């Protein structure tokens, strides 16, 4: 019965008490009043998520765009218009739309805090005007297209082949938080819409707390007047446990906000706001209370992020430098720099560049994505009368978790020795295949980052005592490295299989025994070169299954063949980024 009520509330809240599908669309974008002839004559629809609502809007927008009179457009405009209609169609199918966090009413959101663009902003970005979309977002992130007066917007609009009226129709207004949350069966577990409200716990809510006479009398309390938040905002998880606590000043976030791990009194994170923008340090804690992340915000923008890898006693300091590239420095806890270089931001979920730790209630709706078991029969009371719809017994996630950001090494990196007390390692024959001993002799914590699964590869017969390594990466793979010491210098190069030529998994055999290792192998060969870029000493070759197929030993230096030279030059060109080798 609860799930039936939940679905009814969700469907009707999305329609804002509309009676027809057309009226529903007008709540998303009032400009549908000018295009009623393109809207099917039908009763209001029941949507299982705001995502489905947005997709229904865009489906009809595409019909309007494809039926327009284009006689006044020139050739360039026609080409661009066709391209952007395809882009918009793909945007609709992806189903990743902005979320309105900070306004109680439906309102446009040009770019949300996960870097998710609205439809118009997305079209700008995909046509080479991404900086314009960012500029609009910074100036007024909640602006309607009709109010855009920027000269660059006019330039882009004319280039796009869309009319101003069409752009006004493409845009939409996004709901805030989950509109049904206050009546949902698991309402205590869902971030609620901030509003002037005070609601106490009910008797049935006491099951969430062992202390049934806890100090948190209120489930939700939003202080303010005449609908404007001003003062304390809090949502408690139980009568004994807080969850989200913060402050508003004239409807805008202000001061320190706190979030606790759900069902505990352990802080999850703290952050600081000024005039509805993040300012100061956002601090994240693990469940043991240790700091694991600090991000410095200035006027709403993240400028420096520090992650603490407690198991390795390391801290990673990252700074964005544009074009999805960050400059990264790695220190030990004593403040000694042990590595530095560039990383690219791999961001399939369209999050902000710094979001590589699990998302929480203060920056995502994902926590509201609880699994609901649909009933076998749901009654939908539509204007045409009661109807019944049958559903299978399956779970439904209303919003999907976006994949988090990953950082991938690119270009030139420098690694400094982090343990000056290690003695030289004399490799025995039985140990010679363990390449990890080669890298980790003086680079004990980061040696394994240079070449994954190095314990599977044969090491050189001699282990130089390097003070530093200069390593060149492409997409996280080491192309080559130079080792430096006062007495020696050694250069090793790596060749990789193209990803399309590899099996899904590979079995690698220990050359000194029969033990098998399962790995995802891309390494084709590796070996040493001299200062003339000639092959020297031993080179090791592998097949696509990761098995050692050949060992070459060069008594005299040998020049590379032209194909090897061309491949190496291509990899180097792909990895070129500004680089400073100084410590």
Using the structure block, give the residue that is written with the tokens 């060109």: 573
What is each CA distance from 265 to 1, 45, 130, 215, 292, in whole angstroms? Answer: 33, 42, 42, 13, 18
pLDDT band at residue 513 under the 50/70/90 scheme: very low
pLDDT at 499: 56
Average pLDDT score over residue span 200-209: 70
Q: What is the pLDDT of residue 107?
A: 87
What pLDDT digit, counting tens, does each position of 307-351 carry?
999 988 999 999 999 878 999 999 999 899 999 999 999 987 777
Report the pLDDT value the prediction gives residue 396, as an integer from 0 to 100.
39
When pLDDT is cut at 50, 70 and 90, the band that residue 84 belongs to is very high
**Three-state SS for 297?**
strand
Q: Which of 47, 54, 64, 55 is nearest to 11 (CA)?
A: 47
* Residues near 361 by beta carbon (within 8 Å), at least 6 away in sequence: 191, 243, 244, 259, 262, 367
DSSP, res 20 = B
* pLDDT the model gives residue 101: 74
CA dist 22 to 40, 41, 381, Å?
8, 8, 18
- Cα–Cα distances in angstroms (integers) from residue 345 to residues 114, 324, 355, 408, 500, in the given order: 14, 5, 10, 7, 23
pLDDT of residue 378 exceeding 90? no
Residue range 524-542, pLDDT digits in tens:
888 888 777 788 888 888 8
Query: What pLDDT was estimated at residue 455?
Result: 47
Tokens of 226: 């005449």
pLDDT for 388? 44
pLDDT (tens digit per residue) in 391-417: 333 333 444 566 789 999 999 999 988
**What's the pLDDT band for 487 if we cut at 50, 70, 90?**
low
User: What span, in angstroms and rounded, lies between the C-alpha atoms of 53 and 45?
Assistant: 9
Cα separation, 368 vs 6, whole angstroms: 13
Residue 370 banded pLDDT, cuts 50, 70, 90: very low
Q: How far is CA 187 from CA 122, 199, 380, 393, 478, in A?
A: 33, 12, 22, 22, 49
- The terminus-to-terminus CA distance of the chain in angstroms comes to 65
Rounded mean pLDDT of 419-436?
47
**pLDDT number for residue 574:** 56
What pLDDT does 398 receive?
A: 41
Distance (Å) of CA 170 to CA 53, 106, 121: 14, 15, 10
Non-local CB neighbours of 558 within 8 Å, separated by 6+ positions: 534, 535, 536
Q: What is the DSSP secondary-structure string of 327-361?
A: EEEEEETTS-EEEEEEEEEE-TT---TT--S---T
Range in 270-279, 440-449, 454-463 with the lowest mean pLDDT: 454-463
Higher-pLDDT residue of 51 and 563 is 51
Query: Which of 400, 407, 405, 302 minimizes the C-alpha distance to 347?
Result: 405
Q: Which residues contact 30 (CB under 8 A, 6 or more apart)?
A: none
Q: Is the pLDDT assigned to residue 561 strictly greater than 80?
A: no
DSSP state of 92: H
Could you count the other beta carbons within 10 Å of the beta carbon of residue 178?
22
DSSP per residue, 233-261: EEEEEETTEEEEEEEEETTEE-EEEEEE-
Q: Residue 423: pLDDT band by 50, 70, 90 thresholds? A: very low
Q: Cα–Cα distances in Å, from 423 out to 461, 463, 482?
A: 16, 11, 21
Name the token pair of 163: 């009319």
Mean pLDDT of all residues in the chain?
77
Q: DSSP secondary-structure letter at 19?
A: S
In this predicted structure, the answer to whether residue 468 has a pLDDT above a threshold of 80 is yes
- Cα separation, 245 vs 376, in Å, equals 39
- 34 pLDDT above the threshold of 60: yes
pLDDT of residue 424: 43
pLDDT category at 260 given cuts 50, 70, 90 is very high
Residue with tokens 């079209």: 123
Higher pLDDT, 497 or 356: 356
Q: Are 405 and 355 in contact (CB under 8 A)?
A: yes
Which pLDDT score, from 0 to 100, does residue 494 have? 77
Ranges of beta strands (E only) in 58-116 are: none
In this model, does residue 376 exceed pLDDT 70? Answer: no
* This model's pTM is above 0.85: no
Using an 8 Å Cβ cutoff, are 129 and 162 in contact?
Answer: no
Chain centroid to Cα 550, Å, comes to: 41
Name the CA radius of gyration of the chain, rounded.
29
- 286-311 pLDDT, tens per residue? 999 999 999 999 988 899 999 999 98
Using CA atoms, how far residue 314 sits from 284, 292, 328, 565, in Å, is 16, 11, 13, 37
Span 562-573, average pLDDT: 64
The reported pLDDT for the residue numbered 510 is: 32
């Amino acid at each position: 019965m609860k799930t039936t009520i939940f679905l009814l509330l969700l469907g009707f809240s999305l329609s804002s008490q509309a009676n027809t599908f057309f009226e529903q669309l007008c709540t998303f974008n009032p400009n549908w009043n000018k295009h009623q002839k393109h809207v099917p004559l039908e009763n209001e629809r029941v949507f299982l998520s705001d995502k489905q609502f947005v997709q229904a809007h865009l489906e009809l927008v595409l019909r309007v765009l494809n039926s327009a009179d284009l006689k006044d457009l020139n050739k360039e405009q026609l080409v661009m218009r066709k391209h952007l209609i395809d882009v918009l169609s793909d945007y609709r199918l992806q189903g990743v739309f902005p979320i309105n966090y900070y306004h109680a009413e439906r309102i446009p959101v040009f770019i949300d805090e996960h870097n998710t663009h609205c439809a118009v902003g997305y079209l700008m970005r995909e046509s080479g005007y991404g900086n314009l979309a960012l500029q609009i977002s910074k100036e007024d992130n909640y602006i309607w297209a009709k109010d855009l007066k920027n000269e660059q917007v006019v330039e882009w609009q004319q280039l796009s082949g869309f009319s101003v009226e069409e752009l006004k129709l493409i845009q939409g207004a996004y709901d805030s938080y989950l509109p049904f949350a206050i009546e949902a069966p698991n309402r205590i577990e869902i971030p609620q819409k901030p509003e002037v409200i005070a609601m106490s716990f009910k008797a049935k809510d006491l099951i969430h707390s062992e202390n049934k006479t806890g100090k948190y009398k209120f489930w939700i309390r939003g202080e303010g007047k005449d609908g404007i938040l001003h003062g304390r905002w809090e949502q408690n998880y139980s009568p004994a446990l807080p969850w989200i606590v913060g402050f508003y000043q004239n409807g805008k976030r202000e001061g320190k906000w706190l979030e606790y791990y759900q069902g505990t009194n352990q802080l999850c994170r703290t952050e600081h706001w000024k005039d509805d923008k993040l300012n100061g340090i956002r601090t994240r804690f693990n469940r043991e209370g240790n700091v694991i992340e600090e991000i410095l915000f200035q006027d709403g923008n993240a400028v420096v992020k520090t992650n603490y890898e407690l198991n390795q006693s390391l801290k990673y300091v990252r700074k964005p430098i544009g074009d999805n590239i960050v400059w990264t420095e790695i220190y030990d806890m004593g403040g000694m720099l042990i590595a530095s270089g560039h990383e690219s931001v791999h961001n399939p979920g369209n999050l902000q560049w710094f979001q590589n730790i699990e998302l929480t209630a203060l920056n995502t709706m994902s926590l509201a994505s609880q699994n609901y078991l649909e009933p076998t029969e749901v009654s939908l009371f539509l204007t045409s009368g009661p109807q019944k719809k049958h559903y299978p017994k399956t779970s439904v996630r209303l919003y999907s978790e976006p994949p988090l950001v990953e950082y991938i090494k690119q270009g030139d990196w420098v690694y400094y020795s982090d343990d000056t007390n290690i003695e030289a390692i004399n490799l025995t024959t039985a140990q010679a295949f363990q390449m990890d001993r080669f890298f980790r002799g003086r680079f004990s914590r980061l040696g394994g980052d240079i070449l994954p699964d190095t314990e599977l590869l044969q090491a050189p017969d001699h282990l130089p005592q390097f003070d530093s390594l200069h390593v060149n990466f492409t997409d996280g793979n080491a192309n080559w490295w130079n080792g430096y010491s006062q007495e020696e210098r050694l250069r090793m190069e790596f060749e990789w299989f193209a990803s399309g030529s590899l099996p899904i998994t590979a079995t690698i055999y220990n050359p000194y025994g029969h033990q098998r290792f399962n790995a995802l192998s891309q390494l084709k060969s590796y070996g040493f070169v001299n200062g003339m870029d000639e092959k020297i000493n031993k080179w090791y070759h592998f097949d696509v299954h990761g098995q050692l197929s050949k060992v070459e030993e060069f008594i005299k230096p040998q020049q590379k063949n032209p194909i090897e030279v061309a491949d190496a030059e291509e990899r180097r060109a792909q990895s070129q980024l500004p680089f400073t080798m100084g410590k």
